[in-house]
């Protein structure tokens, strides 16, 4: 697909040594990606927005520019490696460098494993997991020669603790974590100053709950705590600048990960009893409802979804690197186990 990056965005020129830092955000047309793009703009970054849907990209560009920054848009599917490599080249041709790359694009299918088609598993994997690999490789091509830059992998508590009805998405997020750990060791081996960090997210109030590919009669909803995307976006910007090994965002993320370390079997049984109803809303799936698994959204959906009434506007986060020593880990484990017992 075509990009209007050079022709219509303000500014221009190859500025490799001066000017504001440059961030690339995939999945930037809506949800967490869009909120993150705006948060980076407010922090003084020039922002390149990558997504499939032109309407959402145009809306995101308007908000980034309203935040006082330069924005450029590139229509691309993260499943297409060549397009993502070309997008990175376009950003560098215009602004001279890439300082931060945020791999955020995702897709999900909601339904039992044996109701999910092989093509649907493939599509979720190509967008969510391979999309993160394509973005990482594109970023490394430009960061390695400069020996600087930060790659942010947007993960999920589900990278550690899978839930029923979302096997394709959970598998993709777990795969990103494995890939990232491998790359991190390679960067350390090479004494590279390129940094990589992964943020594990809780449920977020985004439009995805109205356009996911459904095999259930009702649209899905966030499980556990739900946060506004702007809260998460601020943590993503912080992670990009501090580059912790990982950042666990939100109390439900911390509880899920720690609980899974302590009592995975207990969680298996708890989720088997509770997670089906917890994931499904009262809103029925109707013919003609949006479904963006294979096609982009044809409207600008913004950053927020329809769960604002229950979404939290403040969050805690934990850098697990600080969980050193048996006492600290045991304390968190006990808290996680106590939480699970209370929820039964």
Report, as residue numbers or ranges, the catalytic residues: 169
Q: Alpha-carbon dihedral of residues 92, 186, 153, 340, nearest 10 degrees?
A: -170
SS3 219: strand
What one-character DSSP code corresponds to residue 295? Answer: S
3-state secondary structure of 75: strand
Q: Judging by DSSP bridges, how do beta strands 280-284 and 218-220 pair with one another?
A: antiparallel
Find out whether 78 and 135 touch, Cβ atoms under 8 Å: yes
How distant is the alpha carbon of residue 122 from its chain centre? Answer: 19
d(CA 95, CA 308) in angstroms, rounded, equals: 36
> Which residues partner with 100 through β-bridges?
23, 150
Measure the CA–CA gap between 253 and 281, rounded to whole angstroms. 21
What's the rounded Cα separation, in Å, for the pair 310 and 32?
17
CA distance 185 to 204: 30
Which tokens belong to 138? 């594109």
Angle between helices 251-262 and 326-343 (to 10 degrees): 100
């Amino acid at each position: 697909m075509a990009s209007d990056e050079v022709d219509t965005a303000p500014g221009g020129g190859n500025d490799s040594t001066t000017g504001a830092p440059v961030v690339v955000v995939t999945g930037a047309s809506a949800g967490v990606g869009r909120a993150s793009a705006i948060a980076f703009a407010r922090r003084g970054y020039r922002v390149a927005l990558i997504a499939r849907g032109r309407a959402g990209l145009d809306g995101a560009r308007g908000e980034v520019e309203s935040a006082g920054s330069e924005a450029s848009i590139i229509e691309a599917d993260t499943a297409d490696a060549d397009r993502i490599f070309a997008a990175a080249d376009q950003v560098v041709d215009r602004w001279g460098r890439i300082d931060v790359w945020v791999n955020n694009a995702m897709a999900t299918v909601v339904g039992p494993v044996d109701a999910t088609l092989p093509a649907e598993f493939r599509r979720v994997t190509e967008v969510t997991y391979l999309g993160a690999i394509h973005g990482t490789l594109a970023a490394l091509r430009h960061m390695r020669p400069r020996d600087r830059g930060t790659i942010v992998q947007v993960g999920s508590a589900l990278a550690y603790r899978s839930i029923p009805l979302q096997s394709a998405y959970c598998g993709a997020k777990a795969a990103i974590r494995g890939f990232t750990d491998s790359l991190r060791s390679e960067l350390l081996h090479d004494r590279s100053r390129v940094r990589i960090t992964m943020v594990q997210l809780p449920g977020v109030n985004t439009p995805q709950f109205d356009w996911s590919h459904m095999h259930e009669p009702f649209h899905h909803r966030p499980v556990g705590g739900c946060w506004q995307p702007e809260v998460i976006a601020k943590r993503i910007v912080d992670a990009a600048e501090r580059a912790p090994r990982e950042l666990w965002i939100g109390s439900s993320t911390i509880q899920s990960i720690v609980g899974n370390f302590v009592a995975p079997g207990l969680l298996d049984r708890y989720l088997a009893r509770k997670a089906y109803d917890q994931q499904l809303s009262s809103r029925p799936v109707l013919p003609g409802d949006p479904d963006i698994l294979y096609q982009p959204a044809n409207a600008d959906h913004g950053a927020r979804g329809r769960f604002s009434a229950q979404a939290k506007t403040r969050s805690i986060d934990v850098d697990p690197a600080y969980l050193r020593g048996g006492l600290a880990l045991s304390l968190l484990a006990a808290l996680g186990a106590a939480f699970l017992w209370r929820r039964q």
